[in-house]
Structure 1
Amino acid sequence: MLYNIFLITTVVTTTFAGYWTSKRGDPCLSSPDPGPCRGSCPRYYFDSSDFTCKKFTYGCCGGNRNNYRTLEDCLDTCNDGCSNGINPDQIRCIVGACTIQTCPNFPKAKCVPRCNSCFSQFIFRGRDVTSQCNTRKTI
């Protein structure tokens, strides 16, 4: 009886440790994993070999964390907001974007440097308002 409890504990601990390690690592370095289900959910994964986010069919459950609903989520998480195919480590800017760019329509928006500080993203009340910074504000 004691041997059975030890064996079960060892199997559960070993299985959980492997699961925990795979879930905790950098999701951007993982291969795309469709998971065990047979659904068809369109998603994106980051391919670290060429700094691009690519489409894949996710089974809708399980899998790993290299699994993003949108291209933007994938690029923001894994490529510092740079465009597909751009390595942020190879980009250098003379002046950081947040030091020279503003968001007139949302003056209280927080400027978040992206793509090695070469581009600005403006966040206001938890929303990305970057696309609205230089457009006419509607009331």
Structure 2
Amino acid sequence: MLYNIFLITTVVTTTFAGYWTSKRGDPCLSFPDPGPCRGSCPRYYFDSSDFSCKKFTYGCCGGNRNNYRTLKDCLDTCNDGCSNGINPDQIRCIVGACTIQTCPNFPKAKCVPRCNSCFSQFIFRGRDVTSQCNTRKTI
């Protein structure tokens, strides 16, 4: 009897812990979940085994939080902004991000270090303007 109670408790706890991790924990560690609907929404999920974001077909409802509309959103959220397949913990920089890099076109943009502080991302009024930092403004 005691063994049965222990076994049931272990199964329930393990199942609940898995559910809790996928619903409340780090979304980047969850498996992709297409959800219960039968729609076809192209999305990306993070595969922590190889530090990359991969495409999958989301059913358009439900599922878990390892579900990103763009590759960039997936990489920024789960891989610290590093490129696909790069482990941020294995990157070392001579000069840290945001120490010498600027965004001349948006001088008031906030610099956010990415990819183990090796690359800079510039945010202005909640928008990523990094791609516009090294281009000249047209008047």
Provide, for residues 77-132 of structure 1, a one-character-per-residue CA deviation record: whole Å limited to 9, x for no partner. 00000000000000011211200100011111100000001000000111111011
SS in 2 for 1:99: coil
Provide, for residues 43-82 of structure 1, a one-character-per-residue CA deviation record: whole Å limited to 9, x for no partner. 0000000000000000000000000000000000000000
Runs in 1 of length 4+ with deviation above 2 angstroms? Answer: 1-22
Query: Aligned pair in 2 of structure 1 residues 135, 19: CA closer, same or farther (>3 Å)?
Result: same
Equivalence for 2:24: 24
TM-score (norm 2): 0.85
Aligned equivalents of 1:3 and 1:117: distance in 2? 51
SS in 2 for 1:97: coil
Unmatched tracts of structure 2, length 5 or more: none
Aligned equivalents of 1:121 and 1:91: distance in 2? 17
SS in 1 for 2:99: helix
Query: Aligned pair in 2 of structure 1 residues 101, 59: CA closer, same or farther (>3 Å)?
Result: same
Identity %: 98
Query: Aligned pair in 2 of structure 1 residues 122, 19: CA closer, same or farther (>3 Å)?
Result: same
Query: Aligned pair in 2 of structure 1 residues 65, 115: CA closer, same or farther (>3 Å)?
Result: same
Equivalence for 2:43: 43
- C-alpha root-mean-square deviation of aligned residues, in Å? 4.3
Aligned equivalents of 1:74 and 1:111: distance in 2? 19
Worse-superposed segment, 121-130 or 10-19: 10-19
Query: Aligned pair in 2 of structure 1 residues 120, 13: CA closer, same or farther (>3 Å)?
Result: same
Query: Aligned pair in 2 of structure 1 residues 102, 11: CA closer, same or farther (>3 Å)?
Result: same
Q: What is the deviation of 1:134?
A: 1.1
Query: Aligned pair in 2 of structure 1 residues 36, 11: CA closer, same or farther (>3 Å)?
Result: farther
The count of corresponding residues between Structure 1 and Structure 2 is: 139
Worse-superposed segment, 62-71 or 94-103: 94-103
Worse-superposed segment, 68-77 or 6-15: 6-15
Worse-superposed segment, 78-87 or 89-98: 89-98
